[in-house]
Structure 1
Amino acid sequence: MSVSSSIKLRQILGAELDKLVTLPLIWFTLTGTFILNLVLAAAFTSVGVQGATGTQNILNIGLASMGYLQAGFIILGILATCSEYTGGQIRTTLITIPWRVFQLSTKHLALAIITLPMAFIIAASAVLYTFIMMRDTTVVIEIDTMITTLIGATGYLTLTTLLSAAVGALLRRTTPALVVLLGYYFIVSPLTRVFLPSNKNFLNYFPDTAGSYMYMPSSSDEISVLTPMQGTGISMLWTLSFITVAIVFYRKRDA
């Protein structure tokens, strides 16, 4: 049984990877995100190049586009799960793969396999561009710090993508999912941070705020901050919770 289940899981994973890899919108989204990120990195670097010194400044400027960059990965996650509902392809999928829990779980796994390297490349390209442009204004770059920061940024973008895919699976329609997630990340959350008192520590436990601690260290005098590990744990908890809810609903309702 274990061998049969393992073979079945590999076959389902292969099918989900094949669907994602052959979906043009996935690559259009990733390409557009990569280009937009380089444009933003160039803009932020041109602003910060005068008088900016030190490793931390380079990392901060190189990753300053993360707030905008996450939009591309939100779209990526939504497209991964909602695209099959557009033309009714989901029915063919469920006829071919009737095990809904396996099917949706492996779809998220396949999405993570694609997202991880692309998120690292896109995040690293911005930092590399900033480093090249600011190499004359910095003293030394600590490789360990840069790698740790890039891993954190990659993890955040990947978790955001998976969370978005889970929301897409729940709503099953691209436009509502985009409105909900982009509205939260770019309107609700920023306004909440502006209008609520700064001592409201619960804001640190929102998925986007907690995730920011994965890659952007806070100043030592900031109160009630999270460590990168705590930010990672909270972000993973949000993502796994949404995936679990999506699987439960996916299993119980008709396609």
Structure 2
Amino acid sequence: MSVSSSRKITQILGAELGKLVTLPLIWLALMWTFILNLVLAAAFTSVGLQGAAGTQSVLNIGLASMGYLQAGFIILGILATCSEYTGGQIRTTLTTIPWRGFQLSTKHLALAIITIPAAFIIATSGVLYTFFMMRDTAVVNEIDTMIQTLVGATGYLTLTTLLSAAIGALLRRTTPALVVLLGYYFIVSPLTRVFLPSIKNYLNYFPDTAGYYMYMPPSSDEINVLTPMQGTGFSMLWTLIFITVAIVFYRKRDA
């Protein structure tokens, strides 16, 4: 029984991976995200080269594009779950794999398998570009700090992708999901910090701000901020909540 179950899990995971890797939009999203990151890294590095030598960190400049980079991974997560609804392929999927909760969970696992190496490569590319361009003028962080920060950045981008996939599964349409998530990350959250400073500390526990502390250590003049581990914990909690809600609705709704 256990051998049969393990084989079934492997087959379903392989099927979900196969669907993702053969979806051209997935690779287009990753390719353009990689290109955008290099362009932004070049721009931030150029600005950094014009600043005061020795006062800037390679990591801070190399990861300055993260605020924009997350858009590509939001799109990636939405495409992963919404693409099957576009042409009605979801009916075939549910006919082949009737265990809805298990199928959606496996899809998120397959998405994580693809996202983790892609996020690490993309995040690292920006830091490496900055390092090679500014190694003589900027503060070069210790290797342990660089690895820890890049792992945190990879984790944040992966959790953002999985959360976006869960929102995509809830809304089942690409455009509404994009509007909701991009609107929150790039409009609602930044404007709330500016115009409602009284609740700024509470925003530290929301997925975008908590995720920030996964890879960028807080400044000494900040108060009520999270440690990298706390940021990771809150980001994971938000992601698991949305995945759980998505699975509940996925099991109860028609295809």
TM-score bracket for the superposition, by shorter chain length: over 0.9
Q: How does 1:113-192 map to 2 (within 5 A)?
A: 113-138=113-138, 140-192=140-192
Closer, same or farther: CA 86–199 of 1 in aligned 2, 3 Å:
closer
Closer, same or farther: CA 139–33 of 1 in aligned 2, 3 Å:
closer
Q: 1:236: which partner in 2?
A: 236
Q: 2:85: which partner in 1?
A: 85
Please tell me whether the aligned partners of residues 62 and 126 of structure 1 are also in contact (alpha carbons under 8 angstroms).
yes
Asked if 1:66 corresponds to 2:66, the answer is: yes
Please tell me whether the aligned partners of residues 62 and 130 of structure 2 are also in contact (alpha carbons under 8 angstroms).
yes
Q: 2:193: which partner in 1?
A: 193
Structure 1 segments unaligned to the other structure (5+ residues):
none
Closer, same or farther: CA 186–98 of 1 in aligned 2, 3 Å:
same
Question: Number of paired residues?
Answer: 254
Identity of matched residues, % = 87
Please tell me whether the aligned partners of residues 58 and 139 of structure 2 are also in contact (alpha carbons under 8 angstroms).
no
Query: What TM-score do the two structures reach when normalised by structure 2?
Result: 0.97
Asked if 1:100 corresponds to 2:100, the answer is: yes
Structure 2 segments unaligned to the other structure (5+ residues):
none
Please tell me whether the aligned partners of residues 74 and 160 of structure 1 are also in contact (alpha carbons under 8 angstroms).
yes
Q: For 2:138 and 2:216, how far apart are their aligned partners in 1?
A: 19
Instruction: Give the AA of the match of 1:25.
Output: L
Render the CA deviation track for 1:34-87: whole Å, top value 9, x for unaligned.
001000000000001232426x62111100000000000000000000000000
Q: 1:53: which partner in 2?
A: 54
Q: For 2:139 and 2:191, how far apart are their aligned partners in 1?
A: 37
Please tell me whether the aligned partners of residues 211 and 231 of structure 1 are also in contact (alpha carbons under 8 angstroms).
yes
Q: 1:251: which partner in 2?
A: 251
Q: Which deviates the most, 139-148 or 108-117?
A: 139-148
1:127 Cα deviation (Å)? 0.2
Query: What TM-score do the two structures reach when normalised by structure 1?
Result: 0.97
Please tell me whether the aligned partners of residues 9 and 102 of structure 1 are also in contact (alpha carbons under 8 angstroms).
no
1:198 Cα deviation (Å)? 5.5
RMSD: 1.2
Instruction: Give the AA of the match of 1:193.
Output: R
Please tell me whether the aligned partners of residues 48 and 61 of structure 1 are also in contact (alpha carbons under 8 angstroms).
yes
Instruction: Give the AA of the match of 1:4.
Output: S
Question: Which runs of 4 or more aligned residues in structure 1 lie more than 3 Å from their structure 2 counterparts after TM superposition?
Answer: 138-141
Q: Which deviates the most, 194-203 or 170-179?
A: 194-203
Q: 1:223: which partner in 2?
A: 223
Please tell me whether the aligned partners of residues 193 and 200 of structure 2 are also in contact (alpha carbons under 8 angstroms).
no
